[in-house]
Structure 1
């Protein structure tokens, strides 16, 4: 057990924050703000929050708060935002940047409560949310005091020159450690570097930064570093019949089931707690949730069973796809699974049921740990390895483990929080203790150093005037996190390549400076990778050169071949049917690589991705798409959103360059948006009529809004149901059908 000796050393080196708790009444905040918090039951601050006040949080200082989950990071952000918004001398706006849309919605709901805080003009503090279109400046957001947005949306607002951006006086970067993410990191980093030029207050929040001092240095910020939590977090490893914790203590867990994870969950439920189980794949979450539900249902009381039955019925109604039925069955037993394959309605129901304490356990993929506020008494990390395309099964980073572990312990509900890794051997117990429980999170590293990461941002810097010359472009790079970790001049080769590419593709002109062309401006405004734009433009040119009889498949494949589209993985049974399809439709592809080349596998993956969208616009049932492609309903929605954005971009570029395929792209844009044929578009734009109901109406001879308005209400009710018919007909100004009598009304009538 040599690894346990690390525990003492770690405890000694921890920075102990005095149990100082500053009172809300003593804060340098406007009276209405203090009253708001006092009314909500907050009398004093936690020690890490008090440390942030001492570090100058309310005195104009930038702050990096690296403190655990549930220690009150968001409250620090709220103080600064409200102080700024209510500042009589220099009124400003606050921008709250989050990594995920779901987290944006959660924060927005919280900030809406500030409307009860009145400004000097008598109006309440207003919060707005921006997560949508990437080619809009959203000037309407200027009406709000606090704007919540994803980093991608903020980037697009900066590119589209939203005027209200200049009024921002406070920027909050939530989950700032995601600068380390290859996908989202570069955008967040560039956005912060751009905003820093305006010199707003900067508050960066994270529970897990291995090199917090380095981040604070970059942001010219004071560092608040703490491991204090309102609820003690005990991290350990389960082996045999006991959890061994980092402080060498042990806790026995009675065997409830041969599967140790089920025993750990049952142990928590019996104590009145809830569990999160993190699995390495979607398939594993579904299997685990099913097994858990069967086992724990006997531990539930009748009241909980009744509530679960109603919740399960709601889940079942969200979709016709088998996944909804499977999820509803789990929910009826008190368990659930949560992953990106679910649609947002299902995720909201699951999250709501868990917050209310009805659902006792959720088996989830790690995406749930990335910011969503769903704490539980015990967090069980079942799979600590992830599949990597290049390396196979690899151990997860400590940072990811700490994010999951940090979900343990519900403030005011749990006496403690427990995070448990599960192992089958004693040697592995020792290994996991040193590798995760007693380890610190890794350093976060800038991911800006590649052409893929920088291409879109360099064009944007030129278009928006941040970098009108090569010297100023390199100077701007000095303001990035990359430059605190590596010499910014080391990027010069990468930047030179990108400048050459952008000039070749006629997006910029390099002559006595760097100037964007109209094409370059459009590409930047559309928020697409310049390489994506180039591939689309070249594809549209080849269609004309070859005189192709192009189809939806041609355009969808063109979009699927861009770096902005995340291609689907190929399964072993995909190769045959895809090869057959390509042979049958070979005239519809702009280019087919030779079968013996590496590119051919990429091509197959692109075609598979395009086929999902082809089925979507041809009104194939979602249930059939899910089965055919081995994806989730949530994946179809995500793919259609990305496709819509890229088809819109193709239509805009095609129109600008006068390409013959632009008209077809514009038609395709509408079809992708609604997942339907062109003939249904008039009906489908009515709120409440989706692709399925529109098809039913069309097949019944009701082919447009005018015909629908002229129909007998009863006929419409028979086709799409009375409740929907009432809403739809009222909406288009037609007489609705008579409402069905309720059971109670019928009984009263019988007595008459």
Structure 2
């Protein structure tokens, strides 16, 4: 189907076809054409299950653009990850701004109604953000009646993100029964069930613009699914390096290598770098030096991980995992897209995130450690997600996905159980108490339900009820309601349910109701004196919203002694359990304290290298902990105001700012300047510039000589401190 057909037969506006032609699109892929024939441009809902890079997003774009340009519609594009939201925002803005289409992005700050977001024609947002907007009764969302796109809708299967995505889809359809819903999915075996649930048309296809060959590597040969064989001949020593070098030698392609652990990504990248650097041109080496510099300076201070990653990048190879700072991950991804980096060794999180195709995908590890069961095979769906990254449209005739085997028996197993296997059916994960706890409260606090009957009526609209029945979850819902009543988050009069002030505020703050209870109870232990820094940090780390650090055996005695010392002087707002009567609870308490110690090291300005080594975390882990801590401190302050716990107000506000920047209290003013983080703020303070007034008196030239500052930062600082804002 060509663009002329889209315009003449299906009414796509002419200006849209012109933009598509400018971007190199002249006709649709077969699955895209089938979706159009199913009436998706006439407002019909659709579940679209096709492989990576087969054009799911374009169909959604066509629907959104037709709705916006012809009907003045408003469209919502829901994604699972912040990184994916940023990617889609930039993509849509770059392509369609010339049509007068306003594109916005929303991912954070869950305590706002987002009324300003109503002005966008296309809003790209995470499912959690949209859910929080519904809790704040954003009227423009309730009025939405055009296109809602759920990207990666198969993540309903994910225990963490799935329940929110599922509840969100059900809630928006309940508010707007005529809503056009597009569910974009990887190829899964029960995509037709999702289509039935959404009352949508269904298109499922294995077609790819770049054909995929899947095979298993064993002792120098790749055996493909059609039983053809190819010998791998390179001088590299280990298997991953051999396959990477072979890819480059065969035509200059790129390779994604998936391994099971962060440590493995670094080891694999180190080995591959020794060989890959031989293939770099002089120009590529020069440009990679710039990328390496960006990576090494991303934190403001160079750490061992920064230096290792920068070293491998200069040699054309990188590692990629959630422990890296987002600027470093972005630099690696951009360099790979520009074909500067030839190999990325990554954990599987990359496969479910940003769009990053390669000529060959190597899945080195098909097992991963799953406590308490030990090493377990990964799901077929996860393998297919990783394999689907192989094949770069416009560059490759075909892509290759390669598993690694150690024996003929393992080779046969991998062929049968992964390459020739169907992905698993996805199943709802809504029927768990933690998942329902937050969504039951949210539904009542927002006024969407007002009784057990209406709650079950809503549950009946979910994918869980489609797969099982609403009655199967009734006992869990009743248990959750009992908890919410006991903790005075909701009240009951006859058959009617309503939220208390406490319940409404917890729902709006978008925290787990159990977190709300922990914060309230801890804050009520504050007496006339201000609570300690450690007490507040442990309080937020005791909530289920904060993922705690793993407690290693060698940590136990040190943290046990630390707890004893600080509990004796009454610093903790939540008292430790008895280690003899409740040993499991006590161990978990110690892991909470260990997490609080990490945050304490951060605000005491401990060097990142020291934090990485002491707590075995990466820069990305620290930032996620910091982001969560900042939000929980804000929530704690809001609840302190609700319950009028005045001695906690100022300590919570100051601690939140210190957590945000990772600084001691004396640097709060300096760190408030844009572009001045913890390292530069400390440099300025050490140079004698302790206040904003000190900075107003110094020349740009003198300021530029301060370590870590330089002329550009100095000029930016000068402009800020002399503005009316300060």
Matched, 1:592 2:576: yes
Deviation at 1:309, TM superposition (A): 2.3
**2:271 is aligned with 1:291:** yes
Moved over 3 A (4+): 19-27, 114-118, 547-550, 712-715
1:747 aligned partner = none
Pick one of 598, 604, 616 that aligns with 1:618: 604
Decide which of 430, 454, 457 is 1:448's aligned counterpart: 430
Give distance in 2, aligned partners of 1:511 and 1:245: 66
Deviation at 1:689, TM superposition (A): 1.4
Aligned CA distance change for structure 1 residues 115 and 415 (closer, same or farther; 3 Å): closer
Structure 2 matches for 1:398-413, cutoff 5 A?
398-413=380-395
Q: Secondary structure at the match of 1:294?
A: helix
Question: Among 362, 379, 390, which residue is 2:344 paired with?
Answer: 362
1:297-312 alignment, distance < 5 Å = 297-312=277-292
Q: Give the match for residue 510 of structure 1.
A: 492
Q: 2:19 aligns with which of 36, 48, 55?
A: 36
How far apart are residue 117 of structure 1 and its match? 4.4
Deviates more, 1:434-443 or 1:109-118: 109-118
1:374 to 2:361 alignment:
no
User: 317, 335, 339: which is aligned to 1:335?
Assistant: 317
Aligned equivalents of 1:114 and 1:416: distance in 2? 27
Structure 1 residue ranges without an equivalent (≥5): 1-18, 119-123, 736-752
Q: Mark the runs of 5 or more structure 2 residues left unpaired by the alignment.
A: none
Give the aligned length.
Answer: 708
- Deviation of 1:25 after TM superposition, in Å, equals 4.2
Q: CA deviation at 1:490?
A: 1.2
What does residue range 209-608 of structure 1 map to in structure 2 within 5 Å?
209-271=188-250, 272-319=252-299, 320-512=302-494, 513-544=496-527, 550-586=531-567, 587-589=570-572, 590-596=574-580, 597-608=583-594
The verdict on how the C-alpha distance between 1:20 and 1:111 changes in structure 2, with shifts beyond 3 A counting, is closer
Instruction: Determine the C-alpha separation between the residues in 1 that align with 2:340 and 2:5.
Output: 35
Contact kept? 2:40, 2:63, Cα under 8 Å: yes
In 1: Cα distance, 2:553 partner to 2:362 partner: 32
2:721 corresponds in structure 1 to 732
* Distance (whole Å) between structure 2 residues aligned to residue 291 and residue 601 of structure 1: 39
Confirm whether residue 642 of structure 1 aligns to residue 628 of structure 2.
Answer: yes
Alpha-carbon distance between aligned partners in 1 of 2:442 and 2:609, rounded to the nearest angstrom: 40
Task: State how far apart, in whole Å, the 1-side matches of 2:26 and 2:346 are.
Answer: 35
Between 1:571-580 and 1:457-466, the stretch displaced more is: 571-580
**Cα deviation, residue 213, structure 1:** 1.0
Q: Are the structure 2 counterparts of residues 30 and 117 from structure 1 closer, same or farther at C-alpha, using a change threshold of 3 Å?
A: farther
Equivalent position SS for 2:319: strand
Shift of 1:86: 1.2
Distance 2:498 2:7 in 1: 54
Comparing 105-114 and 178-187, the one that deviates more: 105-114
**How far apart, CA to CA, are the structure 2 residues paired with 1:161 and 1:678?**
37
Whether the 8 Å contact between 1:24 and 1:42 is mirrored in structure 2 is no
* CA–CA separation in structure 1 for the residues paired with 2:289 and 2:599: 35
Report whether the alignment pairs 1:179 with 2:156.
yes
Does the 8 A contact of 1:619 with 1:691 survive in 2?
yes
| Alpha-carbon offset, residue 115 of structure 1 | 4.2
Deviation at 1:311, TM superposition (A): 2.0
SS of equivalent residue, structure 2 residue 41: coil
Structure 1 distance, partners of 2:671, 2:529, is 31
Residue-by-residue CA offset, 1:641-696 (whole Å, 9 max, x unaligned): 00001110001001110123233222211111121122211111111211122222
CA separation in 2, counterparts of 1:721 and 1:35?
A: 46
Output one character per residue of 1:124-145: Cα deviation in whole Å (capped at 9) or x when no partner. Answer: 1010000111111121111210
Q: Deviations over 1:402-428 (max 9, x none)?
A: 100000000011111000010111101
Q: Would the aligned equivalents of 2:530 and 2:648 in 1 still touch at CA under 8 Å?
A: no
Change (3 A) 1:269 1:429: same
* Residue 155 (structure 1) aligned with residue 131 (structure 2): yes
Provide the secondary structure at the position in 2 that maps to 1:394. strand
State whether structure 2 residue 75 is matched by structure 1 residue 94. yes
User: In structure 2, which of residues 42, 51, 55 is the aligned counterpart of residue 72 of structure 1?
Assistant: 55
Secondary structure, in 3 states, of the residue corresponding to 2:601?
helix
Deviations 1:314-346 (A, max 9, x none): 222223111110001000110000001110111
Q: Deviations over 1:208-244 (max 9, x none)?
A: 3221111001000010010000111011111122111
2:638 equivalent among 643, 646, 652: 652
- Tell me, yes or no, if the aligned pair for 2:97 and 2:103 is still in contact at 8 Å: no
Matches of 1:42 and 1:474, distance apart in 2? 47
User: What is the RMSD of the two structures over their aligned residues, measured on CA atoms?
Assistant: 1.7
Match of 2:167 in 1: 190
For 2:688 and 2:638, the matched residues in 1 are separated by 35
**What secondary structure does 1:254 align onto?**
coil
* 1:723 alignment partner in structure 2: 712
Are the aligned partners of 2:234 and 2:245 in contact in 1 as well (CA < 8 Å)? no
Aligned to 1:121: none
TM-score (norm 2): 0.95
Structure 2 Cα separation of the partners of residues 131 and 395 of structure 1: 33
Q: Is the 8 A contact 1:549 1:588 kept in 2?
A: no
Distance 1:509 1:83, change over 3 A: same
Does the 8 Å CA contact 1:132/1:153 hold for their aligned counterparts? yes
Query: What SS is found at the alignment partner of 2:344?
Result: strand
